[in-house]
Chain A
Amino acid sequence: MAMTEEQAALMPTNPKMTARDVKVFYGPKQAINGVSIDVDMDHVTAFIGPSGCGKSTFLRTLNRMNDTVASARVEGTITLDGEDIYASSMDVVQLRARVGMVFQKPNPFPKSIYENVAYGPRIHGLAGSKADLDVIVEKSLRRAGLWDEVKDRLSDSGTALSGGQQQRLCIGRAIAVEPEVILMDEPCSALDPIATARIEELIHELRGRYAIVIVTHNMQQAARVSQRTAFFHLGELVEYGVTSEIFTNPRQERTKDYITGRYG
Chain B
Amino acid sequence: MSAATDAPRRNPTDWRSDVMQRRIARRYASERMFKLAGLAAVLVSAGFLAFLLISMLGAGLRGFTRTEITVKIDLPATAPGLTPATVNARSLIAANLPGVVNDAADEALGPGGAALLSPGAWLTLRDAILDDPQMVTRVETLRLPASTEIDLAAKTGGSPEAEASVERLRKAGLLSTGFNSTFLTTSDGTDPTQVGIWGAFKGSLLTMVVTLLLSFPVGVATAIYLEEYARKNWLTDIIEVSINNLAAVPSIIFGLLGLSIFLNLLHLPRSAALVGGLTLALMTMPVIVIAGRNAIKAVPPSIRDAALGIGASPVQVVFQHVLPLALPGILTGTIIGMARALGETAPLLMIGMRAFIATPPGGITDPATVLPVQIFLWSDEVSRGFVEKTSAAIIVLLVFLLAMNGLAIYLRNKFEKRW
Contact present for A65 and B309 (CB under 8 Å): yes
Known: A70-B231, A105-B302, A123-B316. A96 touches B309 (CB 8 A): yes
6 sampled A-B residue pairs with Cβ under 8 A: A93-B311, A107-B300, A110-B418, A119-B312, A120-B310, A177-B311
CB closest residue in chain A, given B312: A123
Answer whether residue A124 sits at the interface, using C-beta atoms and an 8 A cutoff.
Answer: yes
> How many A-B contacts are there with CB distance less than 8 Å?
70
Contact present for A174 and B310 (CB under 8 Å): yes
Of the candidates B232, B316, B321, which one forms a contact with A109 in the assembled complex, judged by CB atoms under 8 Å apart?
B321
Contact present for B306 and A96 (CB under 8 Å): no
Answer whether residue A17 sits at the interface, using C-beta atoms and an 8 A cutoff.
Answer: no
Residue-wise, chain A 91-107 has the 8 Å CB interface mask toward B (1 for contact) of 00111110011110101
Which residues of chain A are within 8 angstroms of B316 by Cβ–Cβ distance?
123
CB closest residue in chain A, given B313: A93
Answer whether residue A173 sits at the interface, using C-beta atoms and an 8 A cutoff.
Answer: yes
Chain A interface size, under 10 / 10 to 19 / 20 to 34 / 35 or more: 20 to 34
CA of A105 to CA of B305 in the docked complex: distance in angstroms? 11
Which residues of chain B are within 8 angstroms of A144 by Cβ–Cβ distance?
none
CB closest residue in chain B, given A124: B311
Which residues of chain B are within 8 angstroms of A176 by Cβ–Cβ distance?
310
Contact present for A93 and B312 (CB under 8 Å): yes
CA of A55 to CA of B312 in the docked complex: distance in angstroms? 24
Of the candidates B231, B306, B309, which one forms a contact with A63 in the assembled complex, judged by CB atoms under 8 Å apart?
B309
Answer whether residue A170 sits at the interface, using C-beta atoms and an 8 A cutoff.
Answer: yes
Residue-wise, chain A 126-163 has the 8 Å CB interface mask toward B (1 for contact) of 00000000000000000000000000000001010000
Contact present for A107 and B303 (CB under 8 Å): yes
Answer whether residue A68 sits at the interface, using C-beta atoms and an 8 A cutoff.
Answer: yes
CA of A158 to CA of B157 in the docked complex: distance in angstroms? 67
Instruction: Say how far B234's CB is from chain A's closest CB, in angstroms.
Output: 15
* B373-419 with Cβ < 8 A to chain A: 417-419
Residue-wise, chain A 215-244 has the 8 Å CB interface mask toward B (1 for contact) of 000000000000000000000000000000
CB closest residue in chain A, given B231: A70
Which residues of chain A are within 8 angstroms of B311 by Cβ–Cβ distance?
93-97, 120, 123-124, 177
Answer whether residue A164 sits at the interface, using C-beta atoms and an 8 A cutoff.
Answer: no
Contact present for A110 and B325 (CB under 8 Å): yes
Contact present for A101 and B309 (CB under 8 Å): yes
Answer whether residue B307 sits at the interface, using C-beta atoms and an 8 A cutoff.
Answer: yes
Which residues of chain A are within 8 angstroms of B321 by Cβ–Cβ distance?
109
Answer whether residue A108 sits at the interface, using C-beta atoms and an 8 A cutoff.
Answer: yes
Known: A70-B232, A159-B419. A107 touches B305 (CB 8 A): yes
CB closest residue in chain A, given B309: A101
CA of A103 to CA of B419 in the docked complex: distance in angstroms? 16
Which residues of chain B are within 8 angstroms of A93 by Cβ–Cβ distance?
311-313
CA of A6 to CA of B289 in the docked complex: distance in angstroms? 61
Answer whether residue B36 sits at the interface, using C-beta atoms and an 8 A cutoff.
Answer: no
CA of A94 to CA of B303 in the docked complex: distance in angstroms? 19
CB closest residue in chain B, given A102: B309
CA of A94 to CA of B188 in the docked complex: distance in angstroms? 64
CB closest residue in chain A, given B321: A109
Answer whether residue B268 sits at the interface, using C-beta atoms and an 8 A cutoff.
Answer: no
CA of A186 to CA of B302 in the docked complex: distance in angstroms? 14
Instruction: Say how far B239's CB is from chain A's closest CB, in angstroms.
Output: 17
